[in-house]
Amino acid sequence: MKAAVYTKYGSPGVLQLKDVEKPIPKNNEILVRVKATAVNSGDVRLRKADPFAVRFIFGLIKPKINILGTVFSGEVESAGKDVTLFKVGDQVFGHTDLKFGAYAEYKCVPEDGSLAIKPANISHEEAAVIPFGGVTALHFIKKAMIKPGQKVLVVGASGAVGSAAVQLAKSFGADVTGVCSTANIALVKSIGADKVIDYTKDDFTRNGEIYDIIFDTVKTISVSRSLKSLNKNGIMILSAAGMTELLQGFWISKTSSKKVMTGVISHNAADIIFLKGLIEADKLKPVIDRIYSLEQIAEAHAYAEKGHKKGNIIIKI
């Protein structure tokens, strides 16, 4: 089978299309013929080994995992003898977590992993982009226990995680304000934001508005300056936090009534099924910027690395 392989950390050019051995499912696994995947921030960071600390997990000198890609949508081609939840021909979508491997024509996944039957009302390309931003946003929104009527600010509202966060917060009944650039105002309004702040013209920390939850999806805010825009029992979510933000968040949570949420997300099949339900109810829509072929994987990564994508970048296989 064909796959986008990388054997060293570096620029997008380290990704090379190669023929590799087709995987064989274990007894509890299904073999998915991947129809679409996506380029996400996690893929980019691991390809670059940025931050350096990822090397301590994924390989100090060179990557232990040679095929990136955490999300997929496709068709079950075969199944292990113990599989009962899925059958050959099922259309499925999901998240591989830290096992990666979706930048390929085939991927084996455990039947009890983070996957579900694909919603019939969207394409494989659309389905593939849902799990990354969707499960990230859902993890923190559930943890923050967003309630109807709460004021939620989403920073980076036009990105993969941000566009999902806006829609999920709305589905939980929140009053949502999105922060984005001028070019993305119409997009953020179209996915349900009640208000939109153009960060090129306005600074939300200076407008006097107080929010119950501030969700920074892109690591662009000043944590200390943003605290004054959070109510006294408010929650700040930093889904893209670095070490500095982690330490700041820990200190704030320990020394004040305000809480900062960071850390590694967790997800399971129930989360994918929940997102599926929102898609079928027309409460969650995929936001797509560009579509590339697997042969164009390096080009797709180069575009993602610019940091200006609207929603998601699809890889059609």
Domain that holds residue 301: 2-131+267-316
Domain boundary among 232, 261, 290: 261
pLDDT of residue 242: 80
- CB of 86 within 8 A of CB of 243? no
* Whether residues 56 and 140 fall in one domain: no
| 312 shares its domain with 256 | no
| 16-19 and 175-180 strand pairing | unpaired
**Domain CATH code at residue 72:** 3.90.180.10
Cis-peptide into 51, omega within 30 deg = yes
Both 97 and 35 in one domain: the answer is yes
List pLDDT tens digits, range 269-292: 999 999 999 999 999 999 999 999
Amino acid code (one letter) for 7: T
- Same-domain pairing of 124 and 155: no
Q: What is the DSSP letter of 264?
A: -
Enumerate the H helices of the chain as residue ranges.
41-48, 55-58, 124-144, 160-171, 185-190, 223-226, 243-255, 269-280, 297-305
- Low-confidence stretches of the chain (pLDDT beneath 70): none
Domain end position, chosen among 243, 261, 279: 261
How much is the pLDDT for 28? Answer: 98
Q: Tell me what pLDDT residue 74 has.
A: 98
Q: Mark whether 43 and 162 lie in a shared domain.
A: no
Domain stop point among 241, 261, 281:
261
139 and 242 share a domain? yes
Whole-angstrom distance, CA of residue 138 vs CA of residue 123: 22
Are 70 and 102 in a shared domain? yes
* Whether 194 and 224 share a structural domain: yes
Question: What is the number of domains present in the chain?
Answer: 2
Same domain as 254, residue 282 = no
Q: How far apart are CA 317 and CA 35, in angstroms?
A: 5
Rounded to whole angstroms, how far apart are CA atoms 165 and 174? 11
The CATH code of the domain that includes 198 is 3.40.50.720
Residues 253, 273 within the same domain: no
Residue 76, pLDDT score: 98
Do 120 and 34 fall within a single domain? yes
